[in-house]
Structure 1
Amino acid sequence: MARLVHNIQKKQHRERSQIAERRHLGLLEKKKDYKLRAENYHAKEAKLKLLRKKAKERNPDEFYFGMHSTKTDEHGIGYKENPLDVAERELSADAKKLLQTQDAAYVRTMRLKELRVIERMQAELMPKASGKHTIFVDSEKEQEEFDPAAYFKTDKTLLNKRENRLKLEQLGQQTHAQELDEGVNKERVSRLKKLAAHIERERELAIVEQRLDLDRELAKGGEREKVVKDGKVTYKWKAERKK
Structure 2
Amino acid sequence: MTRDPHDETYPSQAVVLAGGQGSRLRPYTDDRPKPMVEIPGTGMPIIGHQLAWLAAEGVTDAVVSCGHLAEVLQEWLACTELPLRVSTVIENEPLGRGGGLKYAAASLPRPDEPWYATNGDIWTRFSLREFAAFHAERDATATLALARPRIPWGAVETDEFGHVLDFIESPPSPYLINAGVYVFSAEFAGLLPDRGDHERTTFPRLARERRLAGFPLPQGAYWRAIDTAKDLTEAAKELGGGD
TM-score of the two chains, using structure 1 as the length reference: 0.23
